[in-house]
Amino acid sequence: MWCAGLATFVLVYSPQVLLPTFAAEFAVSSSTASLALSATTLALAVAVVPLSAVCESWGRTRMMTAALAVSAALGLIEPFAPSFGVLVVLRALQGVALAALPALAMAHTTREVAARWLGGAVGLLIAGNALGGLTGRLVTGFVADVAGWRVALGVVGGVSLLCMVAFRLLLPAPRTPDPPRVRLRELGRPIGGHLADPVLRGLFAVSFLVMGAFVTVYNYSGFRLEAAPFGVPVGLAGLVFLGYLAGPVVSPWAGRVADRHGRAPVVAAGLAVAAAGAWVTLPANLVVICIGVLLVTVGFFTAHAVASGWAGRRAADLPDGSPALASSLYLLAYYAGSSVGGSLGGVAYDHLGWLGVSCFLTLLLAAGFLVALRLRTSSRGRAPVRGRPRVRRGRRP
């Protein structure tokens, strides 16, 4: 499962460091170049809910292997794209191929691992995700410096193929049966039930907004660092992604703080830290920029770690709630924010430079902060718990 998470995030986010290269190679704007990433995350967002619901009943191991194989094959084809439009289409197809994998990976881990070991197993899975996102960006940047972006994408495709082989060889045979078949037309009612809950709606909104801000920072940091007055090479500009190492440290800490002081305040605090970081990145100083990006990263992982876990717990308290479906809807908002926010951030950068990016980040994070404050009010009343209502007994008048 660690190999699956590594392969997924290597494939999805490796082109992020190459966006300035795509803009120069294909003579497109920074916002257009961001489609190399946004096409993948948008396709993933659209397909994640129906595919994760349907594919689980077809066999989790089989479908995860198929998803990794198809996406790795597409990764090996991408270096031969004759135009930017073809590259974007291939990246979108890759997003569809990977759509079911994140939800299936979490569901498989939850079903197969004993309860007392589950926390460590999930932590290892998330560590693979974070390491994949970081490794893909760093490897792509350094290989592109030496041999060009086409070779860099080919290396990423090869790494993901090796991860798929390791995943299939190492994964034990499943011990739990597959759930019954699900029809797409049967998803409407449970989805509507989850969206009717104000807390879940707020958490999905936070997911969309904070991910849009987070991806915007990393999408356009490369453009800024490679341009004057910095002139940093692609490989060295990719080192800004080392800020991702804060994720595995901050996420469990945020969860513990939320358990003691409440989830909504911690989500709001994470958004406030990220907003502060957006303005720290404004001065034209490399050290200050790195500190600002780190603050945005810490704020993102604080809010995301608490909100994503809260969505599953809230769904478990609803009469007809499904933590798996809530997680899929959360991922839909998460990747939609990545694609929509990441592209709109490019428009701000094209017209107003980094000041426009800082203002755009503040707008997204301020909206998320207001949603978090409303979550604090909405969550004071517990969600209706599953089961029969408790009947109060007493004397007749």
Assign a CATH topology to domain 187-382.
Answer: Growth Hormone; Chain: A; (1.20.1250)
Query: How confident is the model over 328-362, as pLDDT tens digits?
Result: 888 899 989 998 988 899 999 999 999 999 999 99
Sketch the domain layout of the chain as residue ranges.
Answer: 1-186, 187-382
Average pLDDT, the chain: 84
Query: How confident is the model over 221-238, as pLDDT tens digits?
Result: 989 998 888 888 877 777
Q: Which of 47, 80, 367, 43 is nearest to 359 (CA)?
A: 367
Distance of CA 259 to the CA centre of its chain: 23
Asked, colleague to colleague, whether 1-186 and 187-382 share their fold, the answer is: yes
Write out the two tokens for 99. 């759509």
Sorted by sequence, the CB contacts under 8 Å of residue 131 that are 6+ apart come out as 6, 9
Residue 271 in contact with residue 363, Cβ under 8 Å?
Answer: no
Lowest mean pLDDT among 44-53, 77-86, 127-136, 356-365: 127-136
Distance of CA 28 to the CA centre of its chain: 26
Query: How confident is the model over 61-105, as pLDDT tens digits?
Result: 888 899 999 999 999 999 999 999 999 999 999 999 988 787 777
Does CATH place domain 1-186 in 1.20.1250.20? yes
In whole angstroms, give the CA distance from residue 48 to residue 46. Answer: 6
Q: What is the DSSP letter of 202?
A: H
Radius of gyration of the chain (CA): 21
Q: Which of 248, 266, 247, 262 is nearest to 120 (CA)?
A: 248
Full-model pTM = 0.81
In whole angstroms, give the CA distance from residue 71 to residue 82. Answer: 19
Got the DSSP string for 350-376?
Answer: HHHHHHHHHHHHHHHHHHHHHHHHHHH
Write out the two tokens for 182. 């699900």
Share of the chain above pLDDT 70, in %: 87
Highest mean pLDDT among 92-101, 133-142, 184-193, 198-207: 198-207
